[in-house]
Amino acid sequence: MRVLSAVLVAVLLSSRCVAGEPKLQIDAEFPGGNIVVDNIKGNDVYLHQDLRDTAGDWF
């Protein structure tokens, strides 16, 4: 599931917004959404893993 989440984020980040289209939105409100968006500046998105139910980095 983490691989699917990472692929989804990569696809969203690589798509370009055209004038008149809505701005980039990142939604992690689903069971596999394990990210926290820190900041969005133009085409740059800063995020980190959300280890909400994990005692540590288990990879």
The Cα–Cα gap between 1 and 24 comes to 23
> What's the confidence (pLDDT) of residue 35?
87
Q: The domain containing residue 6 runs over which residues?
A: 2-49
The answer to whether the CB of 36 falls within 8 A of the CB of 48 is: yes
> What's the confidence (pLDDT) of residue 55?
77
> What's the confidence (pLDDT) of residue 25?
80
Q: Which of 30, 38, 35 is nearest to 10 (CA)?
A: 35
> What's the confidence (pLDDT) of residue 38?
92
Domain assignment present for residue 55? The answer is no
Count other Cβ atoms within 10 Å, centred on residue 15: 10
Domain assignment present for residue 41? The answer is yes
Identify the residue whose tokens are 């008149």: 20
Q: Hey, what are 11's tokens?
A: 């696809």
CA atoms within 13 A on the CB side of 57: 3
Q: Look at the chain and report how many structural domains it folds into.
A: 1
Pick out the chain residues at pLDDT < 50: none
Domain assignment present for residue 6? The answer is yes
> What's the confidence (pLDDT) of residue 24?
77
> What's the confidence (pLDDT) of residue 7?
64
